[in-house]
C-alpha cells in the first residue's frame, strides 16, 4: 500500500508548505504529494490565510523532482473546465509529467455559494460530468473545441494538447463517496479517493464502484482512502494505516492538519517504513 501526503494550504506560510514537499521528495517512502483546493480556510479561523492551489502546485512542481503530485480535489464548479485543462496541462509540462488531476463536485457548498456558483449536490454532480467532457476533449486535441451544454459553453480555437508539450494527459482522480460520484468515478476515473470515513464504509463504497465499473465494461479504478493526521502522534497513525492496509486499499493520502510540526513528513515516512 502506498502512502501519500497532503498539505492543506490554509493557516500555513509558504515556507512550511515548501519544506514539507521537499522532505516528501527526499523520503522515498512517501509515494505522492497533494494540495487541497479551497479559496478560504475550511478549518479553524475562517478569516485566516489560504494559498491558492494551482499557483502553489506550479511552484511546488519546481521544488520537487521525484514525487507524483496532484490536487485532492479541485471542485469543477470553481473554474471553467477549459481553463482548468490549460492550468493542469501547464503544471504537467512544468512537472515533467508527474501530475494527477484530482477533481470533485465541491464538498464545501458554502464556499461555492459565496461565489454564486452553488447549485445543489445533484446539479454539482451533473456539472462535474459536463466539465469532464470539456477537460478530456481539451487534453486530446489541438483542434477547435465547440461545446454547448447546460452549465458550460466553450468556443476555443484549440485544445490543450500543445500545452502538454508531449507529456501525457494527467490521469483523472475523482474524490467523493456519494452514489452519484461513485458512478462518475466508475465511468471516467483512473483513480478514486474515499474522502472520509471508516474502513467498513470504504469497503462498501469500493464494492459499489466495482459493480458500476463492471456494468460499463471498465476496470475498477485504483482505490485510495483519505485521513487527517491531527495530533501527530506516531502510534495512533500507525494503527490507522495498518487498518487501511488490511482493507486492501491501494493507497492512503494522509493530510497534515495545519499548522503541522516541521518534522511531520519525516515522522510519516518513518511510520510507512515501519509498517512495510
> What are the pLDDT digits (tens) for 4-33?
999 999 999 999 999 999 999 999 999 999
CB 185 within 8 A of CB 173: no
Whole-number Å distance between alpha carbons of 23 and 275:
19
Q: What is the pLDDT of residue 107?
A: 80
With bands split at pLDDT 50, 70 and 90, how would you rate the model's confidence at 102?
Answer: very high
Q: What is the pLDDT of residue 21?
A: 98
- Rounded percentage of the chain residues whose pLDDT exceeds 70: 100
Q: What is the pLDDT of residue 252?
A: 98
Domains of the chain: 2-275 (3.20.20.30)
**Residues near 13 by beta carbon (within 8 Å), at least 6 away in sequence:** 49
At residue 276, does pLDDT exceed 90? no
* Mean pLDDT of all residues belonging to the chain: 96
Amino acid at each position: 500500500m502506498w502512502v501519500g501526503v497532503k498539505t492543506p494550504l490554509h493557516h500555513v506560510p509558504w515556507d512550511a508548505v515548501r519544506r514539507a514537499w521537499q522532505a516528501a521528495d527526499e523520503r522515498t517512502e512517501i509515494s505522492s504529494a497533494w494540495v487541497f483546493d479551497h479559496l478560504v480556510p475550511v478549518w479553524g479561523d475562517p478569516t485566516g490565510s489560504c494559498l491558492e492551489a494551482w499557483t502553489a502546485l506550479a511552484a511546488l512542481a519546481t521544488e520537487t523532482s521525484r514525487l507524483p503530485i496532484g490536487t485532492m480535489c479541485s471542485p469543477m464548479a470553481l473554474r471553467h473546465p477549459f481553463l482548468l485543462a490549460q492550468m493542469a496541462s501547464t503544471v504537467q509540462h512544468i512537472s515533467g509529467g508527474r501530475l494527477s488531476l484530482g477533481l470533485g463536485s465541491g464538498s464545501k457548498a458554502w464556499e461555492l455559494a459565496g461565489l454564486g456558483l452553488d447549485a445543489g449536490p445533484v446539479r454539482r454532480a451533473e456539472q462535474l460530468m459536463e466539465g469532464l467532457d470539456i477537460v478530456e476533449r481539451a487534453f486530446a486535441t489541438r483542434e477547435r473545441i465547440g461545446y454547448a451544454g447546460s452549465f458550460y459553453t466553450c468556443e476555443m480555437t484549440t485544445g490543450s494538447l500543445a500545452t502538454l508539450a508531449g507529456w501525457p494527459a494527467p490521469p483523472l482522480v475523482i474524490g467523493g463517496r456519494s452514489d452519484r460520484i461513485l458512478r462518475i468515478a466508475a465511468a471516467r476515473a483512473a483513480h478514486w479517493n474515499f474522502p472520509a470515513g471508516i474502513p467498513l464504509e470504504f469497503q462498501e463504497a469500493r464494492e459499489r464502484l466495482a459493480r458500476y465499473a463492471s456494468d460499463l465494461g471498465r476496470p475498477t479504478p485504483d482505490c485510495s482512502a483519505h485521513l487527517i493526521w491531527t495530533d501527530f502522534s506516531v502510534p495512533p497513525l500507525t494503527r490507522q494505516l495498518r487498518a487501511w492496509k488490511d482493507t486492501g486499499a491501494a493507497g492512503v493520502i494522509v493530510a497534515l492538519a495545519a499548522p503541522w510540526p516541521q518534522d511531520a513528513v519525516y515522522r510519516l515516512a518513518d511510520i510507512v517504513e515501519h509498517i512495510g
